[in-house]
Amino acid sequence: MSEALRRLHSVFGYSTFRGAQQEIIDHVCAGGDALVLMPTGGGKSLCFQLPAMLRPGVGIVVSPLIALMQDQVDALLQAGVKAAFLNSSQDHASASATVRALLRGELDLLYVAPERLLTDYFLGQLDHLYEQHRISLFAIDEAHCVSQWGHDFRPEYIQLSILHERFPEVPRIALTATADALTREEIVRRLGLEEARLFVTSFDRPNIRYTVIERNDSRKQLLSFLADHRGEAGIVYCLSRKKVDDTAEWLQTQGVTALPYHAGMDAKTRRENQQRFVREEAIVMVATIAFGMGIDKPDVRFVAHLDLPKSLEAYYQETGRAGRDGDPSEAWMTYGLNDVVIHRQRIDESVAPDEQKRIERQKLDAMLGYCDAAGCRRTVLLHYFGETKEACGNCDTCQTPPERWDGTIAAQKFMSAALRTGQRFGAAHLIDILRGKHTSKVSQFNHDKLPTFGVGHDLDEADWRSVARQLLAAGLLHADAQQYGALKLTEAAKPILKNETTLMLRRQILSPKKASKPKTTVSVSPASVDSGIANTLRQWRSQTAREQGVPAYVILHDRTLNELATYCPQTLEELRNIPGIGEAKSIRYGATLLEILRQKT
């Protein structure tokens, strides 16, 4: 058994690595740099936690959120790992004590906010450790925060290139749960990771069911959705702070334990609401996107969007907060034309450079293409991240296929218009040509003389926009952000143009019907869990968590409780074979757990 595998079992209680974990850990342990793209719940943290424990010195973890640091350090301490954090939530005495422990070599891992890391004082302490070869690695978590094109940009992250320049011999591992091609390129450039090895695992989250419905009465639709999730924890995202407040207040009148969260609230209330969500069960958090990044709660059963996210990258990141434990979960969204108008207005009215506006428009178009998809939503979502996936059977379009129509001729007309104009224009201009509109731009380029001028009068503008979005979603067209969003044909478009295949498109829904009741098609929970034992264990876990002031999942995950209730170990040796129970937890809780199991069996 390798030392990494031995530590995995003795510290974290797992007998095997998942996916590319071991390959990443071996690479970093050998001193190599790495960029890791791995979905939420895929086990990213172990990829830097284990190397930090195996290499000499302390691992410095850059993390953007205080709540994430606290939860991860609490979980590591439970597992017997010497870990601490430094951020603005600490008083001077606590921070000074942590720095002293760091300098004395008493820590395996130190989590630090980027603002704190970049101070002259802290960099000076790192200089001292570096001279003594006592820094094992730098881990840059949530690395997509470095991208100005991303959805969670943090200006301080750009300055993290100093780690490479100032401490060149220390391996770095940058990690994120989401990064499209543009964001990935910027992470590499900004952090100086050109020589780093890239690890990209599947972005697929098969336990999440995806549903998108057109907005009719959003409150009524949301309440219908929540009826299937009574007693479960979840997140409802809204675009504005006012809508967050109004929705949370209204849900409370409907008997839902809902809490608001947005940047306009006072810090104390915001912090209290977040702690309640993380530490209690069955709380529904109604929030803007200010909430969520770094939330480590594994049993979030649903994420609902009442407004359209601005990009598929943001949508993937936000929906990924559901089902971290691998159990069945839902990503539900309602959207309308107003969403598109608001997002486009925000882009147009922003003071961002033109290049950034073009990129944001491209990302929005991809998001709309996902909503209009006629086929499997998971296929469209993963295609955006460069991954191929067959129909999943676990999304609304797979389980209740929408009405389709033969859009082959319409697609040929649209793509022909793109070709005849040199693939240099966006959808709006191409639609004007197809519908025979004599705009100044059409006249300027003599596009009213093209054979395609006016050949699309049979469809209205909304239908053509739907065609364009679906062609983008299907990968037949590509919006070139470097050329002002010009639509270009891909290789996949050739069979359509040559009449070698047909193309079915999704029909625009004019009169939305009530969404069908969600179905669960993925289950990864033990089939033979003794519910009585499981409930007793949960009660013990809740009490223990309250006594220690930590989230319940930090004590033991639901999956571990289910395993205990299924197999009922009777000895410490058997207990240590339960996934999630390492040596420290078996010593700390073993006698109590075994007593509970003996009384119940």
Question: For residue 210, what are the β-bridge partners?
Answer: 331, 395
Q: Give residue for tokens 């949301």.
A: 222
pLDDT tens by residue, 557-573: 988 999 999 999 999 99
**Res. 149: pLDDT tops 80:** no
**Res. 521: pLDDT tops 50:** no
Do residues 419 and 494 touch, judged by C-beta distance below 8 A? no
Q: What is the pLDDT of residue 11?
A: 96
Residue 88 banded pLDDT, cuts 50, 70, 90: confident
CA distances from 11 to 7, 19, 438, 472, 520 (A): 6, 19, 71, 47, 34
- Mean local confidence (pLDDT), 444-461: 95
Q: Which phi-psi region, left, alpha or beta, contains residue 386 (left: φ > 0; alpha: ψ -120 to 50)?
A: left
Angle subtended at Cα 158 by Cα 154 and Cα 164, rounded to the nearest 5 degrees: 135
In angstroms, the CA 223 to CA 557 distance is: 29
Nearest by Cα to 572 from 593, 556, 553? 593
Instruction: Tell me the CATH number of domain 404-506, given options 3.30.420.40, 3.40.980.20, 1.10.10.10, 3.30.70.120.
Output: 1.10.10.10
- Mean local confidence (pLDDT), 23-46: 94
Domains 3-200 and 208-351 share a fold: yes
**Domain boundaries in the chain?**
3-200, 208-351, 404-506, 531-600
Do residues 311 and 362 touch, judged by C-beta distance below 8 A? no
**Any idea which architecture 208-351 has in CATH?**
3-Layer(aba) Sandwich (3.40)
pLDDT tens by residue, 183-218: 889 999 999 999 999 999 999 999 999 999 878 789
Q: What is the pLDDT of residue 524?
A: 37
More confident residue, 101 or 515: 101
pLDDT tens by residue, 272-308: 998 899 888 889 999 998 786 657 788 999 999 999 9
Q: What is the pLDDT of residue 515?
A: 39
More confident residue, 136 or 401: 136
Nearest by Cα to 75 from 25, 11, 147? 11
CA distances from 58 to 6, 50, 83, 171 (A): 20, 11, 9, 12
Q: What is the pLDDT of residue 221?
A: 93
Two tokens at 284? 């529904």
Residue 483 banded pLDDT, cuts 50, 70, 90: confident
Fold classification of 531-600 is DNA polymerase; domain 1 (1.10.150)
In angstroms, the CA 37 to CA 14 distance is: 22
In angstroms, the CA 353 to CA 536 distance is: 58
Q: What is the pLDDT of residue 482?
A: 61
- CA torsion 394-396-398-401 (nearest 10°) is 170
pLDDT tens by residue, 358-380: 888 888 888 988 998 878 999 99
Q: What is the pLDDT of residue 150?
A: 66
The chain-wide mean pLDDT, for the chain, equals 89
CA distances from 420 to 31, 443, 471 (A): 53, 15, 17
Report CA Rg, the chain.
26
- Mean local confidence (pLDDT), 523-543: 77
**Res. 89: pLDDT tops 60:** yes
Residue 520 banded pLDDT, cuts 50, 70, 90: very low
Give the percent of the chain with pLDDT over 90. Answer: 66
State the pTM of this model. 0.77
CATH superfamily of the domain spanning 3-200: P-loop containing nucleotide triphosphate hydrolases (3.40.50.300)
**Res. 518: pLDDT tops 70:** no
Q: What is the pLDDT of residue 183?
A: 86
- Mean local confidence (pLDDT), 86-93: 90
Please tell me the least confidently modeled range out of 137-151, 204-218, 332-346. Answer: 332-346
Q: What is the pLDDT of residue 516?
A: 42
Residue 508 banded pLDDT, cuts 50, 70, 90: low
- Mean local confidence (pLDDT), 44-72: 92
Q: What is the pLDDT of residue 292?
A: 67
| 33 phi/psi in degrees, rounded to 5 | -85, 150
